[in-house]
Amino acid sequence: MKARVHVTLKNGVLDPQGKAIGHALGSLGFSGVGEVRQGKFIEIEIAESDAAKAKAQVKDMCEKLLANTVIEDYRIDVDA
């Protein structure tokens, strides 16, 4: 089973990469670009075949390692 995790910066946390990208897009001539935020997208193959259990396991992974919950939020999707 595959889990997909989105890790994004919490609201209010400064995002230097997003800011730099937004700035660069502007200079490249793209108009109407508002806020840009960059996060991570992590795909994990897991042996667990029960979706609920898999999700719980991945949540545990996020809390322990994948996200820094001081500054980041995460979202988990699992599929078969």
Partner 1 sequence: MKAAVIVFPGSNCDRDVAVALEQSMGRAPAMIWHGESELPKLDLIVIPGGFSYGDYLRCGAMAAHSPIMREVKARAAKGTLVLGICNGFQVLTEAQLLPGALMRNASLKFVCKDVQLKVENAKSSFTRGYKAGQVVQIPVAHGDGNYFADGETLRRLKGEGRVAFRYVDANGKATDDANPNGSIDNIAGILNEKGNVLGMMPHPERLSDPLLGGTDGRTMFEALAKVVLA
Partner 2 sequence: MNSTLARDTATVTPEIAAEHGLSPAEYERVLQILGRAPNLTELGIFSVMWSEHCSYKSSKVWLKKLPTTAPWVICGPGENAGVIDIGDGLACIFKMESHNHPSFIEPYQGAATGVGGILRDVFTMGARPVANLNALRFGAPDHPRTRHLVAGVVAGIGGYGNCVGVPTVGGNTAFDPSYNGNILVNAMTVGVADADRIFYSAASGVGNPVVYVGSKTGRDGIHGATMASAEFDEQAEAKRPTVQVGDPFTEKLLIEACLELMAEDVIVAIQDMGAAGLTSSSFEMASKGGMGVEVDLDKVPVRERAMTAYEIMLSESQERMLMILKPGRENVARRIFQKWELDFAVIGKLTDTGRMVLKHHGETVADLPIAPLADSAPQYERPYLPTPKPAALDPASVKSAGAPLDSLKTLMAAPDLASKRWIWEQYDHMVMGDTVVRPGGDASIVRIHGTERGLAMTADCTPRYCVADPSEGGKQAVAEAWRNLTAVGARPLAITDNMNFGNPEKPEIMGQFAGCIEGMRDACLALDFPVVSGNVSLYNETSGKAILPTPMIGAVGTVEDLDNFATADFRRDGESIVLLGETKGHLGRSVYLRDLLGRDEGAPPPVDLAAERRNGDFVRGLIESGDIVTCHDVADGGLLVAIAEMALAGGIGAEIAAPDALPCPLHAWLFGEDQGRYLVTVRNPETVLQQAREAGVPAFVLGRTGGDALTLAGAGTISLGELRQAHEGWLPRYMAAPDALTQV
Closer to a copy of itself at the Cβ: 67 or 70? 67
Asked if 5 and 76 count as a contact pair (C-beta separation under 8 A), the reply is yes
Structure tokens given for 51: 């979706």
CB-CB neighbours of 32 under 10 Å? 6
Half-sphere exposure of 41 (CA within 13 A, CB side): 2
Residue 65, classed as helix, strand or coil, is helix
Q: Which of 14, 34, 52, 80 forms a contact with a copy of itself (CB under 8 A)? A: 34
Residue 19, classed as helix, strand or coil, is helix
Minimal distance, residue 76 CB to partner 2, in Å? 17
Q: Which residues bind a copy of itself (CB under 8 A)?
A: 6-8, 18, 21-22, 24-25, 28, 30-48, 57, 60-61, 64-66
Contact footprint for partner 2 (CB under 8 A)? 9-17, 19-21, 23-28, 40, 64-65, 68, 70-71
Q: Under the rule (CB under 8 A), what is the footprint of partner 1? A: 12-17, 19-21, 24, 27-28, 38, 40, 64-66, 68, 70-71
